């Protein structure tokens, strides 16, 4: 059932993607704001209580609904799985930004590419040279593909194998959304959550994304240049010695290091400055964290290589899910 649910969700998401302003896209953020406003009292234990309620309660509701519908009829449980995956998977939620920038670069319109990148990530891209535009687009896009596709597939597949249905997909996406929204909200004066709750969200997200980040890196290595990807990954991990970076940044760096080796591109460097505050954008690893000093300088041709890498990784995931489903049926 897992394979068919993922396949149906991917097809639906490609055919009828939800717009960013859709009520179903805004509902999780409204829920997170409700929880933080009512339970965030500024202390660590309040932060953990808020996080467990914000992420755990929806997951428990989905899990209960899955088992209830399975008891009524397995087809209903399948529909629920496909619906949850449709809401949590999100290729089309970022791919149009990537396509716009790639097309602008192909036409030689670097100014349009800079404006599209700045609008997408709310950063200052006015002074970026061509190679840096490509680098940032690759880094943002790969991290978005990891968080919105491969991480969701990883948590869903593992937890579904233990009979927990789509709860894994809900936990992964909600924990990532909680960290991102609470972090971004805290950049606005007078808004956001307490430092204690933000730290809890960061720690929880770093732990939850630990295994998926390495699964994504391994998938990129398998479908790309394996030896180069593994070597880049190894060098990136070696660069963590003595680093003050947390697990969130380490997870991101490992995904980007595997990408750099898999398509032979040089990634890593100083992040762009956010328009919202004079702080680095947290979508990229912080300055000083090594990603890959090897490989070729980023160029537009690498964008097509990254697209191929991502789609081959999707096919790899689908093949693995199909084999696991077949093994359960035969067993």
pTM of this structure: 0.89
Using one digit for the tens of pLDDT, what is the confidence trace for 93-149?
Answer: 788 888 899 989 888 888 998 999 888 888 888 788 888 899 999 999 999 999 999
Where helices occur in 52-109 by DSSP H, the ranges are 57-72, 74-88, 95-106
Both tokens of 67, joined, read 């088992």
Model pLDDT, residue 223: 95
Model pLDDT, residue 121: 85
Model pLDDT, residue 15: 86
Model pLDDT, residue 241: 58
Is the pLDDT at 244 greater than 60, yes or no?
Answer: no
Q: Measured between alpha carbons, how far is 22 from 187 in angstroms, rounded to an integer?
A: 24
Model pLDDT, residue 137: 92
Using one digit for the tens of pLDDT, what is the confidence trace for 69-88?
Answer: 999 999 999 999 999 999 99
Is the pLDDT at 187 greater than 60, yes or no?
Answer: no
Q: Measured between alpha carbons, how far is 44 from 196 in angstroms, rounded to an integer?
A: 5
Higher pLDDT, 244 or 272: 272
Using one digit for the tens of pLDDT, what is the confidence trace for 270-320?
Answer: 777 766 544 444 444 444 455 666 678 889 899 999 999 999 999 999 999
Q: Measured between alpha carbons, how far is 159 from 219 in angstroms, rounded to an integer?
A: 19
* Domain layout of the chain by residue ranges: 2-14+41-330
Model pLDDT, residue 311: 94
Both tokens of 218, joined, read 């391994």
Using one digit for the tens of pLDDT, what is the confidence trace for 8-63?
Answer: 999 998 888 887 778 888 899 999 999 998 988 888 888 899 999 999 999 999 99
């Amino acid at each position: 059932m897992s394979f068919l649910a993922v396949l149906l969700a991917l097809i639906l998401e490609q055919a009828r993607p939800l717009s960013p302003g859709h009520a179903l896209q805004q509902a999780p953020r409204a829920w997170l704001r409700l929880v933080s406003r009512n339970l965030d009292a500024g202390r660590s234990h309040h932060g953990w209580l808020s996080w467990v309620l914000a992420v755990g309660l929806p997951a428990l509701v989905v899990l209960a609904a899955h088992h209830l519908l399975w008891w009524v009829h397995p087809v209903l449980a399948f529909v629920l799985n496909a619906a949850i995956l449709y809401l949590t998977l999100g290729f089309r939620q970022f791919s149009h930004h990537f396509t716009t920038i790639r097309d602008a670069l192909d036409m030689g319109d670097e100014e349009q590419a800079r404006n599209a990148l700045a609008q997408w990530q709310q950063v200052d891209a006015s002074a970026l040279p061509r190679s840096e535009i490509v680098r940032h687009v690759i880094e943002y896009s790969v991290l978005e593909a990891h968080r919105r596709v491969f991480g969701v597939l990883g948590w869903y597949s593992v937890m579904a194998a233990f009979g927990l249905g789509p709860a894994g997909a809900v936990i992964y996406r909600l924990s990532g959304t909680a960290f991102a929204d609470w972090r971004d909200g805290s950049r606005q004066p007078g808004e956001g959550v307490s430092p204690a709750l933000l730290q809890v969200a960061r720690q929880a997200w770093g732990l939850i994304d630990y295994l998926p980040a390495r699964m994504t890196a391994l998938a990129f290595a398998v479908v790309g240049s394996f030896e180069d990807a593994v070597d880049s990954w190894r060098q990136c991990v070696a660069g963590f010695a003595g680093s003050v970076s947390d697990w969130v940044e380490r997870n991101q760096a490992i995904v980007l290091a595997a990408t750099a080796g898999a398509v032979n591109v040089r990634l890593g460097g100083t992040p762009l400055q956010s328009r919202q505050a004079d702080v680095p954008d947290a979508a990229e690893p912080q300055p000083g964290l090594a990603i890959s000093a090897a490989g070729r300088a980023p160029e537009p041709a690498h964008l097509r290589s990254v697209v191929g890498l991502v789609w081959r990784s999707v096919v790899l995931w689908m093949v693995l899910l199909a084999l696991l489903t077949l093994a359960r049926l035969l067993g």
